[in-house]
Structure 1
């Protein structure tokens, strides 16, 4: 359909959901295949996200278990924190790709299938077809790396890292009963004050980055998906 034939302000063209129900159209068939393809891509990238999360949980849990298995330095837990951070960077990048397909699926669900099921409610966005067309012509990621980082940090990694830090504090206390906390937190060549300050600064930075800067960063449904094609 050419640009001259489509007017996003025309209700009859914007609400093609009713057309799909009332009569058989070629566009409806194409839209169904399109939706199925986008769903397959979304599920594929969701699996990649879940794989990264599973690896992070497994590795970080194994490190904590090893740290408490005997006379093991608390530095092992700190190394686990760094590994968890690496997984977080990887998952943030993958989430940006996953969000491409997720946003397209939500646009089709909200404006096409929801309207087909109940045309009386209309569509969420009158120009959704033009927006989706533009997205196919010039695809781009719809969430910033910082936004994706914040989303995955808040949803998955902040609780994991918090648990590891609690384990680190307990390890320092439990395995160094004759020393103060700062003495027990020291590493070869690094005082406990420096180590503790570095860990505290690291956690504060994570807390700051976990604060969402937009509705898009708050979640995977609702307002987070509205108007994300642009």
Structure 2
């Protein structure tokens, strides 16, 4: 008899789940705003570096190199924030697909599928749904790859046109030098810099596709 009673939510329980969903939406919105904040910081600092480096033909390209440190710092901070955001987002999506969608389509919450137990366990023992590396990869794919590419192209453009159009490869290497670092070292590190983040974006894309296929084959993970 108890099992039959547990096949349905009471009106009060449905109302409680609705309030729970509203609270999770609010939390995900707050953390979404925090993600946008760090992205804005990256864009602003890159804009400042561009303004300084291209202020005059004699200006140094060094700000375009140093801003990379800040961009990476903001990326790390944003990846950390994304892991929190993804917890609230995953819970919202879980309730949408297992509570609201079945209720709207069939009027049946399919409690026999035990989706409510997955959600309850996530509240009892909360944990991140994605790794830190996956979070970084997702943020690179969404925003930071474009920021990093603009930084790289701006540095190359600065070397190519200021103070006069570059004529030889040796001249480009000379202009790329930063302090005691020779130009070839700066260019090599810059190439590894963009390839590393591009590789991480590709790796996370492959990983997310694999997770999606597992869900399509009956997986029940959140995140």
Taking structure 1 as the reference length, what is the TM-score of the superposition?
0.82
TM-fit CA distance, 1:123: 5.7
**Which runs of 5 or more structure 2 residues have no equivalent in the other structure?**
none
Measured at CA, do residues 125 and 205 of structure 1 come closer, stay the same or move farther in structure 2, by a change above 3 Å? farther
SS in 1 for 2:113: coil
Measured at CA, do residues 207 and 192 of structure 1 come closer, stay the same or move farther in structure 2, by a change above 3 Å? same
In 1, the alpha carbon distance for the partners of 2:112 and 2:154 equals 48
**Which runs of 5 or more structure 1 residues have no equivalent in the other structure?**
none
Match of 1:229 in 2: 222
In 2, the alpha carbon distance for the partners of 1:216 and 1:77 equals 34
Match of 1:130 in 2: 117
Alignment equivalent of 2:133, drawn from 136, 146, 154: 146
Measured at CA, do residues 123 and 150 of structure 1 come closer, stay the same or move farther in structure 2, by a change above 3 Å? farther
Match of 1:62 in 2: 48
Match of 2:66 in 1: 79
TM-fit CA distance, 1:227: 3.0
Match of 2:177 in 1: 186
SS in 1 for 2:27: helix
The root-mean-square deviation of aligned C-alpha atoms, in Å, is: 2.9
Alignment of 1:102-141 (within 5 A): 102-119=89-106, 126-141=113-128
Measured at CA, do residues 54 and 184 of structure 1 come closer, stay the same or move farther in structure 2, by a change above 3 Å? same
1:115 and 1:122 in contact (8 A); partners too: yes
Alignment of 1:38-57 (within 5 A): 38-57=24-43
In 1, the alpha carbon distance for the partners of 2:126 and 2:111 equals 21
In 2, the alpha carbon distance for the partners of 1:52 and 1:217 equals 28
1:110 and 1:124 in contact (8 A); partners too: no
In 1, the alpha carbon distance for the partners of 2:188 and 2:107 equals 59
In 2, the alpha carbon distance for the partners of 1:201 and 1:45 equals 31
TM-fit CA distance, 1:54: 1.3
Task: Report which stretch shifted further, 24-33 or 165-174.
Answer: 24-33
In 2, the alpha carbon distance for the partners of 1:216 and 1:6 equals 38
Aligned length: 212
Taking structure 2 as the reference length, what is the TM-score of the superposition?
0.85
Q: Deviations over 1:150-207 (max 9, x none)?
A: 0001110001110111010010111143662111111221111111111111111111
